[in-house]
Amino acid sequence: MAKKNILITGGAGFIGSHLAEKLLSLGEDVFVLDDLSTGSLKNISHLKKNSNFHFIKGSVTEKKKLEKLVAKADRVYHLAAAVGVKNIMEKPLESLLNNLLGAEVVFEAAANRRTPVLFTSTSEVYGKNTNIPFSEDSDRIYGSAYNARWGYGMSKGVDEFLALAYFREKKLPVVTVRLFNVIGPRQTGVYGMVVPRFVEQAISGQPITVFGDGSQTRCFGNIEDVVGALVKLIDTPKTYGQIFNLGSDEEISIKNLADKVKTLTHSKSKILFASYNKIYGPGFEDMMKRKPDLTKIKKAIGYKPKKTLEQSLGEIIDDIHAQK
């Protein structure tokens, strides 16, 4: 098979850099577009020696630059977006514009050539729905428009409608993936990601800070499992025009996660609890449970998470130790 030209928007981010690594290992030509607002050259520095890797600094909202890249691409992974609750609360306008305008530019450019696109959405689209586990056709329930916390999920939700509209009206081969708390090496805690933040605090002997009372639960998917599924999905035409949950369905409370991190790092750090109001300001609302139904993706591509939470945590701990 001839090698393909692959474009990854947001490819210098945590997930994008692992996806680029995977595609290069498969012998593909990989073009990464990233404005480095939350991505980092450090994430992709080890890839630059590969002659099949190409980095372009720029934003998905730069229409002409993006159109030229899409014109050369056989596949497009659209990952570029605002990252992390903390970042979204601090920069709501920038987050909304990047998510909404970026998706429209990517879909329009790809539709002109019917280039397959994989768009990464988020479990945040389910909002305050408490009917667990979430299936792809579950209702989406959001809080007040005055609460910036819901802006991210709503903007990604609009992007999903946009993807489906392009599929139906312009025959764009697009698949949408709702990611559930993906973790692994190279992820940063700077933007509020809980696992790297806990591990960094535990290793450095700082208090492990749990937001709220710690009873909220999450499911953490391993980056290798997730990236492997992304590659399969875009190469499976029956997935086009569909939405898939992706991650792990192994559920854990944030309090138990803190205990597990403390044990695995042999840390003497104390576990402290901080109110959401203190961290994010008054009126912040969180999703108390977030668990995916993975039935649909299992049927579509035979997906099955291979790595346990403990294995993922071990990899992250080793990675952070290596950086010290």
Question: 52, 28 in Cβ contact below 8 A?
Answer: yes
- Local mean pLDDT, 10-residue blocks, the chain (324 residues): 93 97 98 94 96 97 96 97 74 86 96 97 94 97 87 93 98 98 91 90 96 95 98 98 97 98 97 83 81 98 96 96 85
Q: What is the pLDDT of residue 276?
A: 77
- How far is the CA of 124 from the CAs of 121, 166, 215, 290, in angstroms? 8, 22, 18, 9
pTM greater than 0.85 = yes
- Two structure tokens written together for 73: 């691409």
Alpha-carbon distance of 95 to 201, in angstroms, equals 27
Dist CA 176 CA 263 (whole Å): 37
Can you read off the two tokens belonging to residue 237?
């035409």
What are the pLDDT digits (tens) for 222-259?
Answer: 999 999 999 999 999 999 999 999 999 999 999 999 99
Q: Are strands 217-219 and 251-253 parallel, antiparallel or unpaired?
A: antiparallel
pLDDT given at position 294: 98
Write out the catalytic residue numbers.
Answer: 152
Position 149 scores a pLDDT of 81
Per-residue pLDDT reduced to its tens digit, 26-71? 999 999 999 998 899 999 999 999 999 999 999 999 999 999 999 9
CATH superfamily of 5-181+221-247+289-305: NAD(P)-binding Rossmann-like Domain (3.40.50.720)
pLDDT at 174: 98
Contact yes or no for 240/117 (Cβ under 8 A)? no
